[in-house]
Amino acid sequence: MNNLVFLPVLLPLLTGIILIFFSKYIKIQRFLSLVSSSLGIILSCLLIGKVHDQGILALQVGSWEAPFGISIVADMLSSLLVLTTNIIGFAVLIYSFYSIGTGREKFYYYSFVQFLLVGVNGAFLTGDIFNLFVFFEVMLMSSYVLLVLGGTKAQLRESLKYILVNVISSALFVISVAYLYSVVGTLNMADISRRIAESGQPGIITVIAVSFLIVFGLKGAIFPLFYWLPGSYYAPPIPVIALFGALLTKVGVYAILRTFTLLFYHDQQYTHELLGILAIFTIIVGTIGAVGYWDIKKIIIYNIVIAVGMITFGISLMNEQGLSGAIYYTIHDMIIKAALFLLVGIMAMITGTSDLRKMGGLIQAYPYAAWTFFIAAISLAGIPPFSGFAGKLLLLEGAVEGEAYVGFAVILISSLLMLYSVMKIFINGFWGKPRAYKDADLVPVSRLAVPAALLVIVSIALGLGTEAIYPYISQAMEPLIDPAIYINAVLKE
C-alpha cells in the first residue's frame, strides 16, 4: 500500500479545514498547526525512507490504473522537497506566533498557511500534468489571501499586480495543457513522456515546451518574467515573505525541472539552450538588484532571482553533475532563504525600518542573531563547508562537463557579488556604531531567533553531511537522467 504518498497533502488539508472552526481561539490554532507540521516532518522522513528502500512509489487514486486515473508519485526528488517544505513551514509557524499579530491570526492565517502547504506538497507529488495546474491554483489562491491579509496599502497595491500576473500565467497553463493533450491524448506525465518519445518530439511539441517554459518562468521568476516578484514579495509581513521566497518560486522551478527532464528532453539543442541563456540573464539581473539595493528585504528578494537562475542553469546542462547540483542547490536555497528572511525581519522589527543606512551596531545587543545571520550569509554565498558550497560545486562541475564556460564564469562572479550583498547587511546592520531604537525592547528577539537558528542548523547539517546526503541526491537525479525509471514505476511496465 502506497497511501503514505498522499498523506503530506491530506494532512495539511484536513488541518486547514479544522482550523477554520477555531478562528476565535488563537492558542488552539497555534497548537494544532504546530502538531500538524511536526507530523508532516515525520511523515516526510518516513516517505524518504520508504522511497530509498523500495524506489519510486505511485498511488493510483480511486484504484484507476495509470494512465487513466490520477497518479500521485513520490520519487526521491519530490520526497526531499516535501520534507524541506514541511521543515520551513514548521519554522515559519513558530516565528508567526510572535510576529504575525492577532489581527491576522483571527482571520484564518493558519488555515491558509496549511492550504498553501497543500498546494506546494501536491505540486511536488502529482504525476498528472493537469493536477499540477490544480495544485498550483490551490497554492496561488492561498497566497492571494496571505498577501492581502492585513489590508495595508502596500499589500493591496502589490496584490493587484501579483494576481493579474498569476491569472494570466494560469490561463496560459491551461491552454498549454490543452494543446499538449490534443497532441498526445493523455495527461499522465509518465504516459506523456512515453508518447513524446515514440513521436521523437516533433516541432509542435517543442512549441508546447516553450509555452510551458513561459508559464513556469512566470511562476518561477525567470528573466525577463521576474518583474512582478520584487514588489509582490516585499509587501506582506515577514513570515509570509519567508514562505513565498522559500517555496513559491521553487515550485515553478521544480515544474521546469520535472517537465524538461521527463517530457521535453528530445530537442535539447533548442529548448535547453534557450533555458540556459535565460538562466544566465536571470543570474545577472538578480545580482545587479542584490548589489544595488540598500533595503535588506529587497537584497534577499533579489537573491531569490539569482538562485532561480542558478537552478535553471543546472537543469539546462542535462548532465548528472548539473542536475545533482540543481537538486542540492534547490534544497539548500529553500532553507537558507527562509532563514535569511526571518533574520532580516528581526532586524526590521528592532530598528523600525528596512533601510540598511539607518541601522548599525545590532551585534552589541543581539550577538546570537548577528552570528546566526553571518553563518546564513556565508552559506548562501557558497563558502565551504556550508550547504551552498556543495550545490555550487556540482553546478560548476556540470558546467565544465557541458562546456558551458560562460555560465561557469557567471556563477563564480555572481557568488562573489552575492557574498558582498549579504555581508553588506552584516557589516552595516550588525557592525558599526550602536544606535538607539525606539521600540527595540518590545521585540521578542530570543523567541524569533529560534526558528531562524533551527533552519540555519539544518543548513549546516546539509553542508557538513554532504557525503551522507549525496546518495539521496543521486537517487533523486537518476529518473531525471533516465526517464524510463519514472515511467516504469508509474505505468508498471
Find the angle CA(68)-CA(176)-CA(226) to the nearest 5 degrees.
130
What is the structure's pLDDT at 64?
81
DSSP assignment of 205-238: HHHHHHHHHHHHHHHHT-TTS-TTHHHHHHSS-H
Cell numbers placing 184: 498526445
Q: What is the pTM of this model?
A: 0.94
What is the structure's pLDDT at 442?
80
Over the stretch 373-397, which tens digit does the pLDDT of each residue have?
999 999 998 888 888 898 999 999 9
Flag residues of the chain having pLDDT under 70. Answer: 1, 493
Over the stretch 282-308, which tens digit does the pLDDT of each residue have?
999 999 999 999 999 999 999 999 999
What is the structure's pLDDT at 159?
86
What is the structure's pLDDT at 374?
94
Closest CA to 66 of 9, 127, 24, 138: 127
Sign, Cα dihedral of 153, 159, 162, 164: negative
Q: Are 215 and 173 in contact (CB under 8 A)?
A: yes
What is the structure's pLDDT at 1?
52
Q: What are the residues whose beta carbons fall under 8 Å from the beta carbon of 482, sequence distance 6 or more?
A: none
